[in-house]
Amino acid sequence: MSHQSKTNVVSVIEAAARAMGATSLQSIQYSGTGSVFVLGQAPGPGKPWPRFNLIKYVATVNYNAPIMREELVRTEIEDPPRGGGAGPYNPATGQGGIRPIPFGPQTQIRQATPATETGLLQIWMTPHGFLKAAGANDATATTANAGGRTVDTVSFTALGKYTVSGTIDDENLLTRVETRNPNTVLGDMLVETTYSDYRDFAGVKFPTRIVQRQAGHRTLDLTVNNVHPNSAAAAALEVAASAQPGTAPPLRAEAREVAGGLWDVGGDQCHSYLVEFADHLVVIEAPGNDARANAVIAEVKRAVPDKPIRYLVNTHHHFDHAGGVRRFVAEGITIITHEMNKPYYEEIFRNPNRLNPDRLALSNRTAVIEGVGDKRVLTDGAMTMELYHIRGNLHDEAMLMVYLPKERLLIQTDAHNPRPPEARPLPSISPFTVNLFENIQRLKLDVAQIAHIHGGVIEPFAALAKVAGRQE
């Protein structure tokens, strides 16, 4: 039997601060090992984020600045890899199939600062950061009794719109923090972190197990082995002038006709393509976010002002390629994607999107989504576009590629990313590249050139055959 009641939030926060040593804590550095998972890069719609071995993790937090710096060093676990965020690929070492990400372990540095709202929330979601933020933000608390144990839930509103809640157990230790962050694909996305196995480090109690989940799937699973309260490194962290809040420059998109009726719509690393039919237009890919998609739509209307956009072709569901899909839905444009993505998009597009409402949230439109199985053809007699499922693709099992038979041109993304001429040769052939080549051969497509959505590079088919080891 359990019941809830309001409680004195000040006493709850102060008791937890004393127990955890937060009162005199100005900064902290902690490190450990475990697993890290790449958000938005699942091997299939709705599946868990791909997992990597975390051989080093160091977090340094200065609560006064405030600023948080994370250093992550990761290696691959799956052989062959599945999902995004991996590669290039090295041969297996024979040690459990673990292979280092390109040419050795990959290091990533992340910084959270007040320059972004989510950055500040990340600092406030650390164990002692939560207590400091709760004490400064007019928090409320409720007490629940269940099974003879007392649990307090402390909540406060951050930046006028984010509800941050933490659970404090009967030993006055923080065991869980949750909030919701705006996400360009998922809307108001649940972020929850659990803390357990507390130990004393120089008078400060800190969890030695940290697990974070975003959208229900793990993004971090960390075993902490070292904690340094009020460390010199953490105290020395400062927010650089470039990390201060500012106005982002407007996003640009530029249409360049590369063949009759085919336009490359560039502007950043991930491109879109425009195909012109007799009485309508088809855009291939909506990368980035709402603002990027808005720039693409405006540029398409400028380049071909007398025809409406009828379809958006979405090659796969990864966040860097689906972040602008909602903007096209808001425009009333029909989305074409693989049939496995259809129920996934229909579900997530119904998610609440109140924290940072985009055009779709404001338009209140319902998405019109058409699924593709193995093949679909769009034609007006003069222009023909063929959509194919890339079977057996490890990057995303629901991946499409686009073929223009008259132009003998294939448009693809992420199945192969050409490397710059000055780059070192890969130590082994990417299975993604081989899979793309084999699908082209299976379908007997007469490809002369391949356009890559990443980078907007167009190269001869022979270049793909060479990298795939199939020059013959």
- Which domain-ending residue is among 199, 219, 243? 243
Cα end-to-end distance, the chain, whole Å: 73
Which residues, in sequence order, are CB contacts of 276 under 8 Å at separation 6+? 261, 262, 263, 304, 307, 383
Average pLDDT over residues 279-303: 96
- The reported pLDDT for the residue numbered 217 is 98
Query: Are the beta carbons of 182 and 356 closer than 8 angstroms?
Result: yes
Distance in angstroms (rounded) separating the CA atoms of residues 289 and 299? 16
Question: The CATH number of the domain where 31 resides is what?
Answer: 2.50.20
Please count the structural domains in the chain: 2
174 alpha carbon, distance to own chain's centre: 27
Average pLDDT over residues 205-222: 98
The verdict on 74 and 196 lying in the same domain is yes
Average pLDDT over residues 36-55: 96
Range of the domain at 263: 254-467
Query: Are the beta carbons of 380 and 281 closer than 8 angstroms?
Result: no
Q: Phi and psi (nearest 5°) for 28?
A: -155, 150
Question: The CATH number of the domain where 331 resides is what?
Answer: 3.60.15.10
Distance in angstroms (rounded) separating the CA atoms of residues 295 and 118? 24
In 77-173 the beta strands, taken as DSSP E runs, fall at 106-112, 140-146, 149-158, 162-168
What pLDDT digit, counting tens, does each position of 123-151 carry?
999 999 999 999 999 999 999 986 778 89
Q: Is the peptide bond before 305 cis (omega within 30 degrees of 0)?
A: no
Average pLDDT over residues 107-126: 90
Residue 62 has pLDDT above 50, yes or no: yes
- The reported pLDDT for the residue numbered 130 is 98
pLDDT-based confidence at 268, cuts 50/70/90? confident
The mean-pLDDT minimum among 73-87, 128-142, 357-371, 402-416 falls in 73-87
- Which domain-ending residue is among 203, 224, 243? 243
The verdict on 170 and 79 lying in the same domain is yes
What pLDDT digit, counting tens, does each position of 322-337 carry?
999 999 999 999 999 9
Among 309, 336, 332, 310, residue whose Cα is nearest residue 322:
336
Query: Are the beta carbons of 217 and 37 closer than 8 angstroms?
Result: yes
Q: Is residue 382 part of a domain?
A: yes
Residue 397 has pLDDT above 80, yes or no: yes
- Which domain-ending residue is among 243, 278, 297? 243
Residue 100 has pLDDT above 50, yes or no: no
Q: Is residue 207 part of a domain?
A: yes
